[in-house]
Structure 1
Amino acid sequence: MDTLNMRTGGEGEPAVLLLHGLGATGAVWAHFTPPLPRRVLVPDLPGHGPSSPLPHYSFETLTAAVARALPGKGPYVVAGHSLGGVLALELASGKYDVEVAGVLALGVKVEWSQDDLGRAASFAAKPPRVFETREDAEQAYLKVSGLLGIAPADPAGLRETEGGWRLAMDPAAFGVGAPDMPALLAAARCPVVLAAGEDDPMSRPEQLRALDPDAVTLAGLGHNAHVEDPAAVRALLERFGV
């Protein structure tokens, strides 16, 4: 049976569900959550941190695993970063018997070239790389998660193994492919806010505005805006009464 590591805390409804991006763990929300006047749930996605891997990774299988781990049917306000933003939109489709009151999708990569998809598929097909030292593995974790220079490595994102250290994440998770954002947005049964940092190289504000003219640009921030300036991203949740 699959298990999903879930951090919980706080009180107040609707609860807030926070979904991290590919390669990271729920620890990226550590400085985001304390001021929230709500019950907060922060999972490590399947194949990340101590959470179980999946036999096959897709936006649907990842979302289904999150839905199974939730302590109730909602309502939830869901904020997701990058991959987590795609899962937040998928969860809002109503297909998972979970009520979603609002979605904040932050830093979602919406345009994928064949080279992008090829690199992701190549990474997904490789076995986990083993590093001689923990420090080398920490650097690799920070690079994969886009956190180099803005956050420390989460110890739960590393695993000691024969011959050294590896990332805890399952490389196969990189094989999810590109999201169909127009379809996801059309299927969402709740208000949605799209946002990206002004300097996000993966999720360009103009690309988001092509999908939604009201997409938010966060001045001076990059791909991990929720880590760089938690308050700026947290303010967007006020649109959902949080």
Structure 2
Amino acid sequence: METLKLRTGGRGEPAVLLLHGLGATGAVWHGLAELLDHRLLVPDLPGHGGSAPLPAYSFPAMAAAVAAGLAESGPVVVVGHSLGGVLALELASGRHGLAVAGVLALGVKVVWSEAELDRAAAMAARAPRLFPAREDAEVAYLKVSGLTGIAPADPAGVVETPDGWRLSLDAAAFGVGAPDVRSLLAQARCPVVLAAGENDPMSRPEQLRALAAGAVTLPALGHNAHVEDPAALLPLLTKLTERDG
């Protein structure tokens, strides 16, 4: 397993770093990547897909691992979904040696109940579930990543063991906790756009607007808006890349 599995491609500056959400892999950005005329950096986050797990998970630790695995210092525009959006904001602080020119944070969950945090902690403590067939593990991968019915399973999302198939996701990543998004926004050293799908049950547009008056609502889309309609992100991303240029 690679320290950080990184897909690269495309041409044109600034480079765009695409960070997926919890449980997914970099494959979720395929549709958006096809629409962008930029150099692309698309990792699997630590403990996901083909990237190695971390000894412990925190937003700073995950962001630091991503920055270290890029082998470049930027500038980059970062697009992050959900957990990836939090990591994009963490990178925007400048604490991790990556020059970030702009951030589009999509579908970031900013309000957490104690019950939700308890469930996440319980999931982080569970042993990996084993499945008799690859297809069964792929169904579980799609469910965990919220991609059921809107995307195919990434082969890197599951792995075969002597006892059966399991998710490649390190379940301990569920224990990363709740982000202090207000603080991260205050610490960002670049322009930041917050956005969420109109029908996103996890990241409500009104919750984002309470933190940033200019937060964008993407009509008729859900939590995985970047998969449902990649083109919906283009106007937001264009503003950030043109500002950098």
1:222-237 equivalence runs, <5 A: 222-237=222-237
For normalisation by structure 1, the TM-score amounts to 0.98
In structure 1, the residue corresponding to 2:80 is in which secondary structure? strand
Question: 1:98: which partner in 2?
Answer: 98
Question: 2:153: which partner in 1?
Answer: 153
**1: CA distance between counterparts of 2:224 and 2:81?**
8
1:58 partner amino acid: S
Question: 1:10: which partner in 2?
Answer: 10
2:216 partner amino acid: V
**1: CA distance between counterparts of 2:2 and 2:49?**
13
Are 1:128 and 2:128 counterparts?
yes
How far did residue 234 of structure 1 move? 2.5
Question: 2:32: which partner in 1?
Answer: 32
How far did residue 235 of structure 1 move? 2.3
For structure 1, list consecutive stretches of 5 or more residues without a partner in the other structure: none
The number of equivalent residue pairs is 242
Answer whether contact 1:29 1:227 (CA < 8 A) is retained. Answer: yes
1:98-117 equivalence runs, <5 A: 98-117=98-117
**1: CA distance between counterparts of 2:126 and 2:44?**
22
**2: CA distance between counterparts of 1:127 and 1:162?**
15
Answer whether contact 2:2 2:50 (CA < 8 A) is retained. Answer: no
- Structure 1 outlier segments of 4+, above 6 Å: none
**2: CA distance between counterparts of 1:97 and 1:6?**
18
How far did residue 50 of structure 1 move? 1.1
* Structure with the higher helix share, 1 or 2: 2
For structure 2, list consecutive stretches of 5 or more residues without a partner in the other structure: none
Question: 2:184: which partner in 1?
Answer: 184
Answer whether contact 1:2 1:53 (CA < 8 A) is retained. Answer: no
Q: CA RMSD in A?
A: 1.1
Question: 1:138: which partner in 2?
Answer: 138
1:189-200 equivalence runs, <5 A: 189-200=189-200
**1: CA distance between counterparts of 2:71 and 2:226?**
25
**2: CA distance between counterparts of 1:40 and 1:71?**
14
**1: CA distance between counterparts of 2:122 and 2:41?**
32
Percent identical among aligned pairs is 71
How far did residue 133 of structure 1 move? 1.6
**2: CA distance between counterparts of 1:130 and 1:168?**
11
How far did residue 203 of structure 1 move? 0.2
Bigger drift between 34-43 and 171-180 goes to 34-43
**2: CA distance between counterparts of 1:222 and 1:234?**
17
How far did residue 71 of structure 1 move? 2.6
For normalisation by structure 2, the TM-score amounts to 0.97
Deviations 1:118-163 (A, max 9, x none): 0000000011100112121111100100000100110000001122
How far did residue 104 of structure 1 move? 0.2
How far did residue 168 of structure 1 move? 0.4
Answer whether contact 1:25 1:44 (CA < 8 A) is retained. Answer: yes
